[in-house]
Amino acid sequence: MEEKAREIVVKGARSTFWIMFCFMLLHQADKLLIGPLTTQIMDTFKISHTQMGAVTTGALIVGAIFYPIWGWLYDKFSRPKLLALASFLWGASTWLNAIAPTYPIFLATRAGTGIDDSSYPGLYSLISDYYPPKKRGKIYGFLQVAQPFVYLVGMILALAFGAVYGWRNVFFYLTGSLGIIVSFIIFLFVKDRPRGSTEPELSSVQHLERFKFSWKTVGGLFKKKSLIILFLQGFIGVFPWNVITYWFFDYLKTERGYSDTQTLLTMVPAVLILAAGYPLGGALGDRLFRKTPKGRVIVGAAGVAIGAVLLWITMNIPLAAHLPFGIMLCATALFIPFASPNVLSSFYDVTEPEIRSTTNAVQNFIEAAGSALAHSWLESLPIKARSETRSSLYARWPGLHALPFSSLRGALFPRISRT
């Protein structure tokens, strides 16, 4: 009874969750607004598609560089204060972006937004110290609901404000200002917690704060079979995933002949169901985790496998069968996100609390490298080969993504321990 009460009652858990959810939702919306506003920005600076592409590439490069830096900082210092700093940098860099008079300055200021783009490891690490392992997958799943909703929020902001007020006013008065406001909210209302304080294995350990970040402990990450396979899953999984998500709207229009309205009516239900898949997958992973340490892996692998079959069926539906295609796409969308909250929770199940941000940062860095390599590889192909490669990946994505998961079935998941 005492352990149950200890797990449930953590002061400030709910408020911290909602503040972090709003941070993720608004920050990602600002990040993705560049897409719908691309035409306006190109017209302002009289630039080409290649120059506009460099804007996104610059932010990705800066973000990848700062992942390990943020990870180290979060494990050494106060996570809420650093998250407040990240939010402030988001607002300030967006303000500078909005007033950039020339393309080179716009390029540099937009690249600067990559600094705060890589600030999420501390967020997940902080949440892990508010919620115990048995609830963590569901909580991470609800947090990640922000990601699919962002596409809808970004689209609404761009359509409702971009066309009327212009991209500069949207960046300056809306998203940039929101970043500053959120930074003060985090600074004032989010409190740090002792690292590892919700771990059942560490409940009897006195003075948890004495366990500090050390490079020796970080070096041990690359000796754990389970983590190595998870790192591998991150690198391999983003290849087909990035190609599919990046090109799917183009696929609907060019290969299936959908109009903008048909595309919207097809994708909105799929995105909403995709959002539901995150907490559902996390909750199922938590439930099975209570019975076996490999429970999260089983749920994640099952989601990938079922998504594989459904995606293959979906992509082979005749072009004229719009309704069956939409229904199967929604069914596929439900299972695709099952792996995400379970992979993240698995990282924290086997990682010492004082290096969790660094561990997550390493994973994010590996995924960023895989994403950049995937896009570069696809863009280097001739147009015909590019189309054939996309079609091939639509059919083979799950096999590539599930390969590391199948290896995880034999990996050991030792829980952390301290004496």
304 φ, ψ (degrees, to nearest 5) = -65, -45
Label residue 351 by pLDDT band (50, 70, 90): confident
- Mean pLDDT across 361-385: 66
Chain centroid to Cα 140, Å, comes to 10
Tokens representing residue 31 in the block? 């990040």
pLDDT value at position 244?
Answer: 61
Query: CA-CA distance, 279 to 213, in Å (whole number)?
Result: 31
| Per-residue confidence (pLDDT) for residue 87, from 0 to 100 | 95
Please report the pLDDT score of residue 285 as a whole number: 94
419 CB contacts (<8 Å, ≥6 apart)? 205
Average pLDDT over residues 80-84: 96
> Is the pLDDT reported for residue 252 higher than 90?
no
Supply the pLDDT for residue 246.
58
Proportion of the chain above pLDDT 90, given as a percent: 29
Place of tokens 């962002």: 150
| pLDDT for 409 | 47
pLDDT in the model for residue 31? 80
CA pair distance 267, 101, nearest whole angstrom: 36
Nearest Cα neighbor of 141 from 21, 268, 311 is: 21
Q: Using CA of residue 191, residue 64, residue 167, residue 269, what is the dihedral sign?
A: negative
What's the rounded mean pLDDT across residues 233-245?
63
Q: Which CATH number fits domain 9-198: 3.30.465.10, 1.20.1250.20, 3.40.50.720, 1.10.357.10?
A: 1.20.1250.20
Domain positions in the chain are: 9-198, 217-411
Across the range 365-385, mean pLDDT stands at: 62
328 contacts 314 by C-beta, under 8 angstroms: yes
pLDDT tens by residue, 120-143: 999 999 999 999 998 999 999 999
How many whole angstroms separate alpha carbon 68 and alpha carbon 74?
10
Main-chain phi, psi angles of 387, to 5 degrees: -65, -45
* Site of tokens 């406001």: 181
Mean residue pLDDT of the chain comes to 80
Question: Quick one: average pLDDT of 362-373?
Answer: 77
Residue with tokens 């079935």: 409
Quote the CA–CA distance of 193 and 35 in Å, as a whole number: 37
Q: How many CB atoms lie within 10 A of CB 105?
A: 14
CATH number assigned to the domain covering 217-411: 1.20.1250.20
Q: Is the dihedral of CA 226, 231, 234, 240 positive or negative?
A: negative
Spell out the residues 6+ positions from residue 2 whose beta carbon is closer than 8 angstroms to its own: none
313: Cα within 13 Å, side-chain hemisphere = 16
Q: Which residues contact 73 (CB under 8 A, 6 or more apart)?
A: 82, 122, 357
Q: State pTM to two decimals.
A: 0.82
Is a pLDDT exceeding 90 seen at residue 279?
A: yes
226 CB contacts (<8 Å, ≥6 apart)?
346, 350, 408, 411, 412, 413
Classified as helix, coil or strand, 78 is coil
Band (417; pLDDT cuts 50, 70, 90): very low
Amino acid identity for residue 299 in this structure: V
* Percent of residues, the chain, with pLDDT higher than 70: 78
Question: Per-residue pLDDT tens for 39-56?
Answer: 788 889 998 877 887 887
